[in-house]
């Protein structure tokens, strides 16, 4: 159906307007007027158009293009299938569990959490689950305030910004540090309330290191059960990181020489399993540095050829172990 | 492609009869419909005559609910959902029981591609007319901003004693004409169908939708 009636009204017209009507603060004419004044949210057809379905397919395709992440891909496929089947069940008048898509992502930095979250937003929008599908990335400092009342204001602001899409709280475990008096606790409570109130058009993702997230969840009993989707992001293997590096380079119209690849491989294998090993982010930094070093190396040449302009040599890689 | 049309208007404007008769006109032999109220949804199938008996008129069952009739079609427009909304309550402040109805109606408006506002042209109460004009202004502005098709229909045109031309000239919103409709005689149905098909063609072509009338 074009218009799934089982959804809550504020998904379509904004919670404030809905609240004013429910409180009897405004009548029909004022409500209609405010509706016309509200921010444009684009065509509101609930059933995804062909264009949106194509966007969902593209997001899924891009996800599958990502190196590694096999567990993540499987989970996302399950979510997609669940949404699709839910629609078909609805068409057959079968009971559907309400879709709750709040998630916990645990893993080291640079393991693909943000990238996956962005793609999920696009996927959910394409499937008609989220109206906008954008990603708002925040961390503790964006949510937690300095004085009483400040946290509520800051957190609500971010939730509002993420409405229709996803709120991605990086290093979410840091909300749990500082004990009971800390304002972080208040932010957590507000987020929990938001995920209940707006669950029809808002997805909350808490992300952070596996160990820290686990103890954060242990300290906040009842929190874990509100996140039906929990995905662990393992560190990339050296081979996967090498593949990522090659892909990143290709996108920028560069490529590694054979010697450069071997050097990078040696370096990455050596650092595997190290604490604070920052995965894909590390690879990107190495690549960006290599690009700058190559430029410096070539700037002394007369007229470097196309091949030279593309190739990153072993000497460009600043990966000597310190 | 699928289109949803929300039919809105004050109580007794003729929303329900329009939905049933227009669905029948579009070729629906039996009406599959769903009703939402108080967070519950029920679905059923009825003949058009049965639906008229059950649902049309004041005090009828389901006047406070949101009801969707689904018509399956052939051609590029595969499915048309006609949403028979709860009436737009004229009382201000809103009595408690009408608040969630208004919310439901606005929800339907927000979820639809096409909005048909029905105004009973056989009723000449000035207060009522002013209400309709203001509602129409906001709805038209909202639809323009959201890229939805908007259409105002003067319902119960068969009851008009004066020449229909007079009503057709009535400058309601920004010079828009009133499309005269009678669910009893079928006056205006062909034009509504044409506009819906035109709207379907427009959105299929990817061009931005617009206010029509
Ligand atoms: N003569 C005439 N009566 C109509 C027409 N449309 C609706 N009515 C009558 O107006 C009354 C209210 O109609 P209904 O569809 O229930 O209005 P709703 O409350 O807006 O859904 C009923 O008695 C209908 O029979 C019409 O086009 N012509
Ligand atoms: Mg009715």
pLDDT tens-digit series, residues A127-165: 888 888 899 999 999 999 888 888 999 999 999 999 989
Six token digits for residue A102: 């709040």
User: Does the bond joining B93 to the residue before it have cis omega, within 30 degrees of 0?
Assistant: yes
A140 and A215 co-located in one domain: yes
Confirm whether A55 is domain-assigned: no
Instruction: Look up the CATH number of the domain holding residue A299.
Output: 1.10.8.60
Closest CA–CA distance from residue A80 to any residue of chain B (Å) = 22
Cβ-contact A59, A119 below 8 angstroms = yes
The last residue of one of the domains, among A192, A207, A233, is: A233
The last residue of one of the domains, among A207, A233, A259, is: A233
Confirm whether A129 is domain-assigned: yes
Least confident span in A205-214, A279-288, B12-21:
A279-288
pLDDT the model gives residue A55: 72
- Nearest CB among A28, A35, A47 relative to B89 is that of A28
Confirm whether A82 is domain-assigned: no
The rounded distance, in Å, linking the Cα atoms of A302 and A126 is 51
Atom 6, ligand 1: which residue's CA is nearest?
Answer: B14
pLDDT the model gives residue A45: 37
Which residues are near ligand 1 (CB < 6 Å)? B 9, 11-17, 56-57, 63, 87, 155-156, 158-159, 182-184
pLDDT tens-digit profile, chain B (213 residues): 788 999 999 999 999 999 999 999 999 889 999 987 766 778 899 999 999 998 998 776 666 778 999 999 887 788 999 999 989 999 989 998 888 889 889 988 988 888 999 998 888 777 888 888 888 878 877 887 777 788 888 899 888 766 555 444 344 333 345 788 999 999 989 888 887 887 666 555 443 333 333
The last residue of one of the domains, among A192, A216, A233, is: A233
Task: Quickly count: other Cβ atoms within 10 Å of residue A206's Cβ.
Answer: 27
pLDDT in tens, A64-78: 777 888 888 888 888
pTM: 0.50
Confirm whether A48 is domain-assigned: no
Ligand in closest contact with the CA of B20: 1
Model confidence at A61: pLDDT above 90: no
The rounded distance, in Å, linking the Cα atoms of B190 and B116 is 15
A201 and A292 co-located in one domain: no
Over residues A309-318, mean pLDDT? 93
pLDDT the model gives residue B88: 93
pLDDT the model gives residue A46: 46
Six token digits for residue A250: 């290709």
A188 and A297 co-located in one domain: no
Q: What is the mean pLDDT of chain A?
A: 82
A260 and A229 co-located in one domain: no
Task: Quickly count: other Cβ atoms within 10 Å of residue A73's Cβ.
Answer: 15
CB contact under 8 A, B148 and A21: no
Nearest residue to A4 (alpha-carbon basis) of A47, A65, A34: A47
Cβ-contact B26, B192 below 8 angstroms = no
pLDDT the model gives residue A317: 93
- Nearest CB among A3, A9, A28 relative to B4 is that of A3
The rounded distance, in Å, linking the Cα atoms of A191 and A197 is 10
Instruction: Look up the CATH number of the domain holding residue A102.
Output: 3.40.50.300
A288 and A165 co-located in one domain: no
pLDDT in tens, A241-263: 888 888 888 888 899 999 999 99
Atom 14, ligand 1: which residue's CA is nearest?
Answer: B14
A257 and A213 co-located in one domain: no
A153 and A263 co-located in one domain: no
Cβ-contact B6, B116 below 8 angstroms = yes
Strand partners, B202: none
Instruction: Give me ligand 1 centre to Cα A29, in Å.
Output: 23
Strands of B149-155's sheet, edge to edge?
Answer: B40-46, B31-37, B66-72, B79-84, B2-8, B114-120, B149-155, B179-180
The rounded distance, in Å, linking the Cα atoms of A161 and A77 is 27
Provide the pLDDT confidence category of residue A179 given band limits of 50, 70 and 90: low
DSSP A1-68: --S-TTS-THHHH-HHHHHHHHTT-S-HHHHHHHHHHSPP-----SSPPHHHHHHHHHHHHHHHHSSS
B104-to-A28, A266, A317, B136, B166 alpha-carbon distances in Å: 12, 63, 62, 18, 34
Six token digits for residue A224: 């874990």
Nearest residue to B101 (alpha-carbon basis) of B31, B15, B190: B15
Confirm whether A5 is domain-assigned: no
Q: How many helices (H) and strands (E) does chain A have?
A: 14, 7
The rounded distance, in Å, linking the Cα atoms of A194 and B62 is 33
Cβ-contact A264, A242 below 8 angstroms = yes
| Helix/strand/coil percentages in chain A, nearest 5 | 55, 10, 35
Over residues A14-26, mean pLDDT? 85
- Residue A261: CA count within 13 A, CB half-sphere: 14
Would an 8 Å CB–CB cutoff place A5 in contact with chain B?
yes
Between A12 and A287, residue with greater pLDDT? A287
A139 and A184 co-located in one domain: yes
The rounded distance, in Å, linking the Cα atoms of B172 and A32 is 17
A139 and A163 co-located in one domain: yes
Nearest residue to A170 (alpha-carbon basis) of A96, A115, A100: A115
A229 and A163 co-located in one domain: yes
Between B26 and A182, residue with greater pLDDT? B26
pLDDT the model gives residue B130: 81
pLDDT the model gives residue A137: 93
A155 and A183 co-located in one domain: yes
Atom 24, ligand 1: which residue's CA is nearest?
Answer: B57
Residues of A in contact with B99 (CB under 8 A): 21-22, 24
Confirm whether A119 is domain-assigned: yes
Query: Helices A50-65 and A113-126 sit at what angle, rounded to 10 degrees?
Result: 160
Instruction: Give me ligand 1 centre to Cα B18, in Å.
Output: 8
Model confidence at A321: pLDDT above 80: no
Closest CA–CA distance from residue A139 to any residue of chain B (Å) = 33
Task: Report which ligand 1 atom has the smallest distance to the Cα of B181.
Answer: 27
Would an 8 Å CB–CB cutoff place A65 in contact with chain B?
no
Confirm whether A52 is domain-assigned: no
Question: Phi and psi of B156, rounded to 5°?
Answer: 60, 35
Atom 10, ligand 1: which residue's CA is nearest?
Answer: B14
The rounded distance, in Å, linking the Cα atoms of B43 and B61 is 14
pLDDT the model gives residue A296: 92
Question: Phi and psi of B145, rounded to 5°?
Answer: -65, -35
Confirm whether A14 is domain-assigned: no
- Nearest CB among A6, A24, A29 relative to B99 is that of A24
Count of structural domains within chain A: 2
Cβ-contact B71, B80 below 8 angstroms = yes
- Nearest CB among A11, A31, A41 relative to B102 is that of A31
Q: The domain containing residue A182 runs over which residues?
A: 97-233
A246 and A229 co-located in one domain: no
How does strand B114-120 pair with strand B149-155? parallel
- Residue A204: CA count within 13 A, CB half-sphere: 25
pLDDT in tens, A73-98: 888 888 888 887 877 777 777 777 77
């Amino acid at each position: 159906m074009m218009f799934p009636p089982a959804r809550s009204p504020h998904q379509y017209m904004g919670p404030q307007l809905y609240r004013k009507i429910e409180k009897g603060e405004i009548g029909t004419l004022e409500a209609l007027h405010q509706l016309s004044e509200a921010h444009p949210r684009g065509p509101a057809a609930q059933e995804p158009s062909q264009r949106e379905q194509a966007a969902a397919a593209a997001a899924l395709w891009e996800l599958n293009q990502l190196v590694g992440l096999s567990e993540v891909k499987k989970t996302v496929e399950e979510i997609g299938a669940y949404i699709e089947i839910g629609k078909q069940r609805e068409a057959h008048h079968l009971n559907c569990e309400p879709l709750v898509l709040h998630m916990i992502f645990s893993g080291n930095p640079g393991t693909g959490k943000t990238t996956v979250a962005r793609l999920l937003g696009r996927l959910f929008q394409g499937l008609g689950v989220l109206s906008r599908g954008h990603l708002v990335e925040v961390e503790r400092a964006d949510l937690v305030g300095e004085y009483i009342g400040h946290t509520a204001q800051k957190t609500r602001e971010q939730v509002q910004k993420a409405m229709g899409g996803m709120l991605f709280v990086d290093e979410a475990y840091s909300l749990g540090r500082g004990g009971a008096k800390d304002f972080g606790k208040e932010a957590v409570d507000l987020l929990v309330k938001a995920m209940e109130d707006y669950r029809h058009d808002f997805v909350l993702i808490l992300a952070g290191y596996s160990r820290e997230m686990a103890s954060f969840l242990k300290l906040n009993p009842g929190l874990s059960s509100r996140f039906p989707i929990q995905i662990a992001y393992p560190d990339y293997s050296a081979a996967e990181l090498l593949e990522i590096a090659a892909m990143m380079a290709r996108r920028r119209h560069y490529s590694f020489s054979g010697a450069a690849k071997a050097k990078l491989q040696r370096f990455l294998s050596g650092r595997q399993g190290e604490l604070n090993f920052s995965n894909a982010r590390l690879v990107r930094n190495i690549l960006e540095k290599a690009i700058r070093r190559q430029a410096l190396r070539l700037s002394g040449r007369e007229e470097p050829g196309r091949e030279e302009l593309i190739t990153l040599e072993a000497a460009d890689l600043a990966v000597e172990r310190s | 492609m699928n289109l949803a049309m929300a039919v809105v208007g004050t109580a007794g404007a003729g929303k329900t009869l329009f939905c049933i008769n227009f669905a029948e006109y579009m070729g629906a032999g039996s009406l599959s419909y769903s009703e939402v109220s108080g967070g519950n949804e029920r679905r059923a199938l009825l003949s058009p005559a049965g639906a008229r008996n059950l649902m049309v008129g004041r005090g009828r069952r389901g006047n406070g609910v949101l009801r969707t009739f689904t018509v399956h079609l052939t051609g590029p427009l595969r499915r048309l959902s006609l949403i028979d909304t709860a009436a737009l309550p004229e009382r201000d402040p809103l009595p408690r029981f009408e608040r969630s109805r208004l919310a439901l109606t606005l929800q339907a408006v927000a979820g639809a591609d096409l909005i048909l506002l029905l105004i009973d042209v056989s009723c000449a109460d000035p207060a009522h007319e002013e209400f309709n004009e203001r509602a129409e202004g906001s709805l038209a502005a909202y639809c323009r901003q959201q890229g939805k098709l908007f259409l105002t229909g003067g319902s119960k045109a068969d009851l008009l004693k004066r020449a229909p031309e007079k009503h057709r000239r009535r400058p309601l919103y920004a010079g828009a004409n009133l499309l005269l409709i009678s669910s009893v005689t079928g006056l205006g149905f062909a034009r509504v169908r044409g506009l819906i098909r035109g709207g379907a063609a427009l959105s299929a072509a990817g061009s931005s939708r617009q206010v029509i009338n």
